[in-house]
Structure 1
Amino acid sequence: MPKFETRHKVRHAAADMFALVADVEAYPKFVPLCEALKVRGRQSRPDGSSVLIADMTVSYKVFRETFTSRVTLIPAENRILVEYLDGPFRQMENRWTFTPLTEKSCEVGFFIAYEFKSRTLGALMGAVFERAFHKFAGAFESRADEVYGV
C-alpha cells in the first residue's frame, strides 16, 4: 500500500495551522487536485472535538473521482484524523499533527496511506497522487503565509 509521510517546520503557530487544515471548505482554492469539497454534516462533541463528513472531488485531466471521509478535529491535541468511508479507494488513512516549537512556529506532520480499489486506476493515478502529496505541505504553508502573513 503506498504511503507518504512528511514533517515540516513552518513559521506559524500550531493553532493557526490546525485551523487552516480544519477549514476543509477552502481546499478547492489551494489544494493540489482538489476540484470541490462539500461538508455533508458536522457534529460537535462535549470534549471540544468535532466530526464532519465530507465529500472531496479530485480531478486530473480526464480522471475525476469523489470520495467521502470522516474528519475528526481534535484541537486540544492539535490533531486531525481522516477516515475513508466511500469512493475509489480500497482503504485510506490520513493524519495531521501540529507540534508547537515556539509561540509563532510549529512542526506540521502529514501522513497518508492509500490503496485504490482498481489496479488500473492505481497504476494510472499512483504517480500523480504521489507528486500531489509532495506538494501538499508547500500548498498549506503558502496558504498560511497568505492568510496569516509571513
Structure 2
Amino acid sequence: MFAMVSDIAHYPDFLPWVIALRIRSESEEEAVADMIVGFKGLRESFSCRVHKQRPSDVSVSYIDGPMRHLSNEWHFEPTEEGCCRVDFMVDFSFRSRVFETLAGQMFDKALRKMIAAFEARADELYGVAA
C-alpha cells in the first residue's frame, strides 16, 4: 500500500479530478510535484512536497497554489491477517471563497470518491484480500 500511495506519478491514471501531474524531483525519501486538478470547468494547479518514510508513512505538505494550506498523512500498519490497516488524514482550506464554499458542500462526497479510487487501484494492483 505504501508503494501505491507514494507512486504519485500514476495519480492521473486513477484519481478523479487529477488532470495532470509533473514531478519536479524525486528520491526515496521525498518528491516535489505540480498537480493540475479540475472539476466542472474549473482548473487549478498547485505544488506539494511528498515525504516518504518506507514502509509506514507518507505525508504531503503544501508549497503553493490556490490553497491557504494543505496537508495530508497516510499511515500504514500491517495486520495479523497479512493485510494492511490504512489511516488517512487531510486538512486544507482555500484562499478563494468560491472554492472554499464548493469544497465545503462537496467534501464528504469527494472524499468518498477518492477513497473508492484508491481502493479500486489497490484491488487492481494487489487483488482483493480473502
TM-score for both structures, normalised by structure 2: 0.90
CA deviation map 1:12-53 (0-9, x unaligned) = xxxxx0000011011111112111111111134xxxxx1110
Alpha-carbon distance change, 83 to 89 in structure 1, aligned in 2, over 3 angstroms: same
The answer to whether structure 1 residue 37 and structure 2 residue 21 are counterparts is yes
Matches of 1:129 and 1:62 in 2, distance apart? 18
Gaps of 5+ in 2: none
Matches of 1:25 and 1:148 in 2, distance apart? 18
Written as runs of structure 1 = structure 2, the 5 A alignment for 1:63-82 is 63-76=42-55, 78-82=56-60
Higher relative contact order (CA 8 A, sep 6+): 1
TM-score for both structures, normalised by structure 1: 0.79
Identity, % of aligned pairs?
Answer: 42
Structure 1 position 102, deviation (Å): 2.7
The answer to whether structure 1 residue 117 and structure 2 residue 117 are counterparts is no
**Alignment length (residue pairs):** 128
Matches of 1:40 and 1:147 in 2, distance apart? 26
The answer to whether structure 1 residue 60 and structure 2 residue 39 are counterparts is yes
Alpha-carbon distance change, 103 to 75 in structure 1, aligned in 2, over 3 angstroms: farther
Matches of 1:39 and 1:128 in 2, distance apart? 28
Matches of 1:140 and 1:93 in 2, distance apart? 18
Structure 1 position 124, deviation (Å): 2.9
